[in-house]
Amino acid sequence: MSTTLYLQLDRNIQVQHPHVYLQDIARLSCTNSKILNRLRVLPVLTLKPDQPGRYVMSAMDLIDLIQKKEPDLDITHIGEQDFILTYQQPDPPHLLLHWLKTIFVCFASFFGAAFSIMTFNADADVEKLFQQIYQQVTGQVSNGFTILEITYSIGLGLGVLFFFNHFSKVKLTADPSPMQVQMRTYEDNINTTIIEDINRKKLTPKDQSPS
């Protein structure tokens, strides 16, 4: 009875050293521990230490490499057909730079959100609308500082807080925040674009169909 190796790959895999082994980029499962240990330390790629970047690889490249090492092994691939190997050198911690980036993002987010809210209020003429509603309901002229303006201001703050689903380190719910969802969507789009661009460049002129 032949032995089966299960090979699982993610879409984007990050490594921090130029000598890449199979265990660094894939999750392996096999009932034969000897074969499994040999494949874990199987060299896959040697990168230039001074050239960090993204490298697109195919699962077929790994399968071919494994079959050369273990020709009698059955391989079951689980996961992505093409994946990105991101080589990034470990950087020493720069606390000052980290804090400066955090402060910049906080200020940009705060003033950007404030500007968006103010332009919306100006376009919709919320101040005039509140004055009309207050006068129709109470019969009095609004002075611009009524229960409508107060509850509206409080509601904006609470709405932003619940929308981003974070307050300091505390999450209000277990669901991912809209910012996290958008970042994951952006990351998936970037990975797809990189893989498709590399695959198109690999095509020879005879394989390319005329546009």
Which pLDDT score is estimated for 173? 67
Percent share of the chain, pLDDT over 90: 17
Helix (H) or strand (E) holding 110: helix 95-124
Dihedral pair phi/psi, residue 13, rounded to 5°: -120, 130
**What superfamily in CATH does domain 4-87 come from?**
eubacterium ventriosum atcc domain (2.60.480.10)
Q: Where are the domains of the chain?
A: 4-87, 95-200
Beta-bridge partners for 38:
none
For 159-176, write each residue's pLDDT tens digit: 877 777 666 666 666 777
